[in-house]
């Protein structure tokens, strides 16, 4: 990891993304031709945020003739906790008492950890994901912007031991999307910029 730029303060991707990319490129003297691929959080998420991210990645991919690596947003979020022996349950507030969620675990593979999907990403009621976690019967760590919204429901409905990720690992991080993107790139999971939707 050479650099990561994170802000979480009122402004949207449309206002910050390109200036942040330009600032990072200058700070680390990045030769754009040295890039192998562009990892992108491919959803779920806010429609406008995903569109701006996709348009930016497609533009860079087309201009540089580089492939894109589509990282499911929830997998990228779960990767913030790489190496934990507990289940990881990212929660993104989908409104109307629903969350975008999935359940993940990390399996040791030699000296590395591999992200494994236990429950595919979906949009469901917070009570339904609580039931699934209770049925799995393992300790779980919650993270994401849905945690503060559904903390009371988690306390009421989740019967297995649980905890919440620390603030430093609770939000989506470019570094996690990039790290997981590098793994998927090595596995050949790419699309051309023109193919990305």
pLDDT tens-place string over residues 87-139: 999 999 998 889 999 999 999 989 899 999 999 999 999 999 999 999 999 99
Q: Can you tell me which residue has the tokens 């402004």? A: 11
Q: Which two tokens stand for residue 101?
A: 């969620």
Three-state secondary structure of 17-60: HHHHHHHHHHHCCCCHHHCCCEEEECCCCCHHHHHHHHHHHHHH
Model pLDDT, residue 26: 96
Query: What is the value of pTM for the model shown?
Result: 0.94
More confident residue, 38 or 18: 38
Cα separation, 31 vs 175, whole angstroms? 19
Model pLDDT, residue 97: 84
Mean pLDDT (the chain) is: 94
> Phi, psi at residue 131, to the nearest 5°?
-60, -45
Any long-range contacts for 58-62 (C-beta under 8 Å, 24+ apart)?
58/193, 58/194, 58/196, 59/193, 60/32, 60/193, 61/192, 61/193, 61/196, 62/193, 62/194
């Amino acid at each position: 990891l050479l650099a990561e730029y994170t802000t979480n303060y009122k402004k949207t991707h449309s206002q910050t993304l390109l200036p942040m990319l330009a600032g990072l490129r200058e700070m680390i003297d990045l030769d754009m031709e040295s890039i192998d691929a562009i990892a992108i959080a491919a959803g779920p998420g806010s429609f406008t945020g995903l569109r701006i991210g996709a348009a930016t990645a497609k533009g860079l991919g087309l201009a540089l003739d580089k492939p894109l690596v589509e990282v499911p947003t929830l997998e990228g979020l779960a990767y913030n906790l790489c190496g934990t022996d507990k289940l990881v349950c990212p929660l993104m507030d989908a409104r109307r008492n629903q969350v975008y969620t999935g359940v993940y675990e990390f399996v040791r593979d030699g000296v590395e950890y591999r992200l494994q999907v236990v429950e595919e990403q979906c949009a469901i009621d917070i009570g339904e994901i609580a039931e699934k976690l209770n049925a799995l019967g393992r300790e779980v760590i919650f993270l994401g912007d849905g945690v503060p919204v559904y903390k009371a429901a988690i306390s009421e409905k989740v019967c297995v031991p649980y905890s919440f990720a620390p603030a430093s690992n609770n939000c989506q991080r470019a570094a996690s999307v990039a790290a997981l993107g590098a793994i998927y790139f090595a596995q050949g999971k790419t699309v051309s910029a023109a193919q990305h939707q």
